[in-house]
């Protein structure tokens, strides 16, 4: 089957959709709109009680705007939701500065708006940064054009708690934004680590991680005996030529799963390259290691790895070399060379066998 190749523009739209969906699911924007709706709902009564009905009425409108932003978020229309939030916060900051002054701290919500602009995947990063700077510019202008405190019915004892409350509420989205960035970096780091250390087809450790494991085994003074085995799929080129490379990849994946299920917990199997696998057996005598791999060889040769092709039978050849006290001075290359020599001999002697 020939896979359809996505056009670049379609691929970008698909990627954007996936980002938006993941962002919506997280969801920082959900935290923001829920917090915004609850905050404004709580301040409706506050403003009416202390003689600022203009702000009380605007807060009713704000609740409706935040709920609309929440509905748009759930529909995946993040850009529209963010523009509603942007407009609401800027207008509310200006109105509150005009009617009650800056000491109330309502303008601090611009800080969370700036963070939201930068981190939103539905806004281009340069546009997000520009909007964040615009938001902070408006924040600074509020100090130029408005007084610290306007004559209202708000008691003096409430100004400090009100300012602290607004600052804390405004800090919540900022903290969530920082957490989102950190989680993104951690996920990327884990992804790169996996790409660097694990084979993308089989999921097994790759040659890099296998070489590191070999070095650890070589330097481990507590290991009385370590066995390395090189295993190669017999007639793999014939499988590719007859069944195609997709089936060849399926065979390698099936073998990898077979090895993972057949080996012990302390053992390690990794894809060494192409159709070759490296197996490390820890604290094992040579006769026990040979018996383990002989059982694996036999079971594999009798297994039906690809159900769609019941006639396809896969065999492997194994070459073993020990890492006991007598070989303690040998390098990793020499250790592998001994295993590779045994594998070559197994191939030469007819394949589908274990040689130690």
* Residues noted as catalytic: 275
Query: What does R_g of the chain's alpha carbons equal in angstroms?
Result: 32
d(CA 114, CA 133): 7
What contacts 172, CB < 8 A, 6 or more positions away?
A: 31, 35, 112
CA dihedral angle for residue 90, residue 91, residue 97, residue 100, rounded to 10 degrees: -140
d(CA 254, CA 246): 12
Residue 204 exposed, middle or buried by CB count within 10 Å (0-12, 13-18, 19+): buried
Give the closest residue to 286 by CA, choosing from 345, 326, 331, 259.
Answer: 326
d(CA 60, CA 68): 13
27 upstream amide cis, omega within 30 of 0: yes
Do 78 and 23 touch, CB atoms closer than 8 A?
yes
DSSP string, 22-81: HHHHH-HHHHHHHHHHHHHHHHHHHHHHTT-HHHHHHHHHHHHHHHHHHHHHHTT-HHHH
């Amino acid at each position: 089957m020939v896979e359809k190749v996505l056009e670049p523009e379609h691929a970008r739209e698909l990627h954007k959709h996936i980002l938006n969906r993941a962002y919506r699911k997280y969801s920082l924007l959900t935290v923001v709109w829920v917090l915004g709706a609850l905050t404004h709902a709580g301040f409706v009564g506050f403003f009416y009680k202390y003689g600022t009905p203009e702000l009380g009425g605007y807060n009713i409108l704000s609740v409706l705007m935040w709920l609309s932003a929440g509905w748009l978020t759930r529909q995946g229309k993040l850009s529209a939701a963010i523009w509603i939030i942007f407009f609401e916060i800027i207008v509310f900051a200006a109105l509150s500065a005009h009617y009650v002054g800056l000491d109330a701290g309502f303008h601090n919500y611009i800080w969370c708006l700036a963070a939201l602009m930068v981190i939103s995947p539905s806004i281009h990063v340069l546009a997000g940064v520009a909007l964040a700077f615009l938001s902070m510019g408006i924040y600074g202008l509020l100090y130029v054009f408005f007084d610290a405190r306007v004559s209202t019915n708000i008691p003096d004892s409430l100004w400090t708690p009100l300012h602290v409350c607004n600052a804390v509420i405004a800090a919540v989205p900022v903290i969530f934004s920082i957490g989102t960035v950190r989680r993104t970096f951690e996920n990327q780091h884990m992804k790169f680590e996996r790409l660097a250390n694990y084979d993308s087809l089989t999921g097994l450790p790759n040659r890099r991680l296998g070489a590191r494991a070999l070095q650890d085994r070589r330097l481990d003074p507590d290991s009385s005996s370590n066995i390395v085995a090189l295993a190669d799929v017999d007639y793999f080129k014939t499988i590719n030529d007859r069944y195609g490379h997709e089936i060849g990849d399926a065979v390698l994946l099936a073998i990898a799963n077979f090895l993972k299920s057949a080996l012990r917990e302390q053992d390690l199997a990794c894809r060494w390259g192409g159709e070759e696998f490296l197996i490390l057996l820890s604290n094992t005598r040579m006769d026990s290691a040979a018996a383990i791999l002989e059982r694996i060889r036999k079971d594999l040769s009798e297994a039906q790895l690809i159900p769609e092709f019941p006639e396809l039978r896969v065999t492997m050849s194994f070459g073993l070399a020990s890492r006991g006290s007598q070989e303690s001075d040998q390098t990793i290359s020499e250790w592998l060379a001994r295993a590779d020599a045994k594998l070559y001999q197994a191939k030469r002697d007819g394949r589908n066998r274990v040689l130690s």
